[in-house]
């Protein structure tokens, strides 16, 4: 979502330079996003935290109830790098996009 948000902002902000956003760059962005998700989902398999059976006994998820340093460090790191940083990036991109659109329409009127 952060990559899509930045792409949308970039295309609206600099439409003439948006032609440089070619297929090769898009494929690289998709590959980076896939590797980031693979990294965070595979770390419990390599010993940083672990997966456990959920309360309803219908699926597994990352352990979040245990208070050990291993589990807590993974959960805090994942919260920061998978939620807070991308969310901040999305928020800043969309606010800047909104302000650019508002500025453009104020000039038109």
Look at residue 26 in the predicted model and tell me its pLDDT: 81
Containing structural domain, residue 92: 2-108
pLDDT digit of tens for each residue in the chain (109 aa)?
Answer: 888 888 888 888 777 766 666 777 788 889 999 999 999 999 999 999 999 998 888 999 888 888 999 999 999 999 999 999 999 999 999 999 899 888 877 776 6
3-state secondary structure of 11: helix
Number of structural domains, the chain?
1
Model pLDDT, residue 85: 94
């Amino acid at each position: 979502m952060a990559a899509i948000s930045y792409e949308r902002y970039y295309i609206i902000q600099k439409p003439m330079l948006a032609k440089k956003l070619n297929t090769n760059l898009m494929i690289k962005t998709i590959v980076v996003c896939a590797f980031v998700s693979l990294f965070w989902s595979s770390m419990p398999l390599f010993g940083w935290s672990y997966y456990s059976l959920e309360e309803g006994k219908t699926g597994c998820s990352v352990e979040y109830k245990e208070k050990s340093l291993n589990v807590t460090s993974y959960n805090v790191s994942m919260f920061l790098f998978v939620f807070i940083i991308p969310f901040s990036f999305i928020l800043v991109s969309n606010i800047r996009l909104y302000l650019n659109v508002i500025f453009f329409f104020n000039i038109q009127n």
